[in-house]
């Protein structure tokens, strides 16, 4: 266990030395500040009486997950495999699950940090809705991360090298960003697109977070929870079969 923590700590330092990372962490925060400044957080009938930031904050949190699962997580693993880092780590007494677990750990840690920044900034500047149901929100957030990050492991298992990784990552990033309601409310899309959105896992993360945030019951969103758990199991199983260490 201490091995896992040590490896995760070192990986966290390495994550923070990656210049692209700040973009990933800062981008949703910048969106929050820009749109917060332009539109404020006044109650909006179109959004069911919530402020636009109340509505978008969960989406920005999902955006952090999408960025990490399309870029940071798979790129690091593919780079490590290509260059022989994974192979070198394998020659130590480290268990394989610790090597992968540290990548999951660092991405969860950084996403949580980014989400906290968003919530604190939203609360400080725009009085975003924060309630005692935040514990529930946190649980939904954890489930969302595990589910979305399992996609990153699958990408790392399928994509063969670092030349292809950015292409695949970028395609998936924009697909997940625009088809999940992270940027544009799904209600504004035509019906067929809304149906496609149901196949995009972050859609369910955003719906779950947006509603749990306002005290909705978990039971009402059982379908979203099942989809996220399903994605987690399918991706984790497929990754365990397809992942190559070198």
Partner 1 sequence: MTRKAVIQVEHLRKTYGPVVAVDDISFEVYQGEIFGMVGPNGAGKTSTVECIEGLRMADGGSIRVSGYDPYKDRYAMRAHIGVQLQMAALPERIKVWEALDLFSSFYPHRVNLDALLEQVGLTEKRNARFANLSGGQKQRLFIALALTHDPEVVFLDELTTGLDPQVRRTMWDMVRKMRERGKTVFLITHSMEEAERLCDRVAIVDGGRIVALDAPDHLISRLGSEMRVIFTVDGAPCLEKLRTLENVTDVRQVNDRVILSGKGDALLSSVVAALLENGIRFRDLHTERATLEDVFLQTTGRAIRD
| CB 77, CB 96: distance < 8 Å | no
Least CB distance from residue 171 to partner 1, whole Å?
A: 25
CB of 240 to partner 1, least distance (A): 18
Q: Which is nearer to partner 1, 85 or 109 (CB)?
A: 85
- Interacting residue ranges for partner 1, rule: CB under 8 A: 2-3, 6-7, 10, 13-14, 17-18, 80, 83-85, 87-88, 90-95, 246
**Pick 47 or 94: Cβ nearer partner 1:** 94
Closest CA to 26 of 118, 99, 92, 90: 118
- Residue (12 or 183) nearer to partner 1, CB: 12
Give the Å distances, CA to CA, from 233 to 160, 203, 211: 22, 18, 24
Query: How far is C-alpha 30 from the chain's CA centre?
Result: 17
Nearer to partner 1, 94 or 175 (CB): 94
Which of 106/143 has CB closer to partner 1?
A: 106
Q: Which helix (H) or strand (E) holds 19?
A: helix 19-39
Query: What are the two backbone dihedrals, phi and then psi, of residue 189, each rounded to the nearest 5 degrees?
Result: -85, 155
- Nearest approach in angstroms of CB 246 to partner 1 is 8
What minimum distance in Å lies between the beta carbon of 107 and partner 1? 15
Q: Which residue has the tokens 């880092």?
A: 85
Q: From CA 206, how far away is CA 49, in angstroms rounded? A: 18
Q: How far is the CB of 93 from partner 1 (least distance, A)?
A: 5
């Amino acid at each position: 266990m201490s091995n896992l923590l040590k490896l995760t700590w070192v990986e966290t330092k390495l994550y923070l030395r990656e210049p692209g990372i700040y973009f990933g962490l800062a981008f949703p925060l910048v969106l929050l500040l820009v749109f917060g400044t332009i539109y404020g957080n006044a109650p909006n009938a179109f959004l069911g009486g919530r402020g636009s930031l109340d509505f978008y904050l969960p989406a920005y949190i999902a955006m952090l997950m999408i960025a990490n699962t399309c870029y940071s997580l798979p790129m690091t693993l593919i780079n490590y495999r290509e260059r022989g880092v994974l192979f070198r780590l394998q020659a130590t007494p480290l268990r394989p699950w610790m090597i992968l677990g540290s990548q999951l750990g660092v991405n969860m840690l950084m996403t949580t940090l980014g989400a906290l920044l968003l919530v604190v900034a939203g609360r400080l500047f725009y009085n975003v809705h924060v309630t005692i149901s935040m514990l529930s929100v946190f649980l939904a957030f954890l489930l969302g991360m595990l589910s979305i990050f399992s996609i990153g492991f699958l990408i790392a298992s399928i994509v063969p090298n670092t030349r292809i990784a950015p292409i695949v990552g970028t395609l998936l990033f924009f697909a997940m960003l625009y088809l999940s309601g992270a940027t544009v409310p799904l209600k504004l899309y035509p019906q067929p697109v809304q149906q496609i959105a149901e196949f995009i896992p972050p859609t369910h993360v955003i719906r779950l977070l947006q509603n749990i945030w306002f005290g909705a019951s978990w039971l009402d969103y059982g379908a979203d929870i099942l989809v996220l758990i399903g994605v987690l199991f399918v991706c984790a199983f497929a990754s365990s079969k397809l992942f190559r260490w070198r």
